Chains A and B, each alone.
Chain A
């Protein structure tokens, strides 16, 4: 089945640091990738949608200068949390799909803790 790899799985860093999270589709071409944020005991909140080779489309209320998304190839998208602060601590999950009607497949998530 379709596999999406997300890295790192857990990161702890100091306030003010920028953190990059990678999302890779291992066995299919991901024309579209999605980035979600999940708070404890809550559902997933879509942050942005990225199509390969295009600028990401951000959801309302998500700061694009804070959460930089790059989708430069059909197998890799990155999310960079710039100048992270404690309120950015969360579980970030990516998903990917190809250009057919197949479902989104999710990575295992990245737990980000900002001290």
Chain B
């Protein structure tokens, strides 16, 4: 079955870069996503990458995909206090009826 793992917690100082990692097991993933969830709110789509890409950059966000190792990362440059939230990676795989499998979530805390 599908399994998506993330580290539970990451703490960085304001202005530093944050790197949130995600590993997945389903090799037939088509799209991989990063969502942000603030307390008491729904999920906000940050960025996504198609499985035939290695990297995608969108302003302060950089997504790296290593298909061989089934490893996905999200780098946030110049991390701000407003970036404090829980970050979920998610994969959508062929034959899954467009369903997403979510990771366990990484809580990012940005300290002054």
Q: Which A residues are closer than 8 A to B by beta carbons?
A: 4, 6, 32, 34, 42-44, 46, 49, 57, 93, 95, 97, 101, 103-109, 111
Q: Is the CB of B98 within 8 A of A106?
A: no
Q: Is the CB of A103 within 8 A of B33?
A: yes
A85–B100 alpha-carbon span in the complex (Å): 28
Q: Is the CB of A49 within 8 A of B99?
A: yes
Q: In the complex, what's the smallest C-beta–C-beta distance from B6 to chain A, in angstroms?
A: 9
**25 chain-A/chain-B pairs, Cβ below 8 angstroms:** A4-B42, A6-B42, A32-B98, A34-B99, A42-B105, A43-B88, A43-B103, A43-B105, A44-B43, A44-B88, A44-B102, A46-B100, A49-B98, A95-B43, A97-B98, A103-B31, A103-B33, A103-B48, A105-B45, A106-B43, A106-B44, A107-B42, A108-B41, A109-B41, A109-B42
Minimum-distance CB pairs A-B, first 10: A106-B43, A106-B42, A108-B42, A109-B42, A43-B102, A44-B102, A107-B42, A93-B42, A43-B104, A43-B105
Partner among B40, B99, B105 whose Cβ is within 8 Å of the Cβ of A109 = B40
A6–B102 alpha-carbon span in the complex (Å): 20
Q: In the complex, what's the smallest C-beta–C-beta distance from A79 to chain B, in angstroms?
A: 14
For this complex, into which size category does the number of interface residues on chain B fall? 10 to 19
Q: Is the CB of A111 within 8 A of B40?
A: yes
CB-CB under 8 A from A95, the residues of chain B are: 43
- Nearest residue, chain A, Cβ from B104: A43
> Which residues of chain B from 81 to 111 have any CB-CB distance to chain A below 8 Å in the complex?
88, 97-100, 102-105
A95–B98 alpha-carbon span in the complex (Å): 12
CB-CB under 8 A from A111, the residues of chain B are: 40
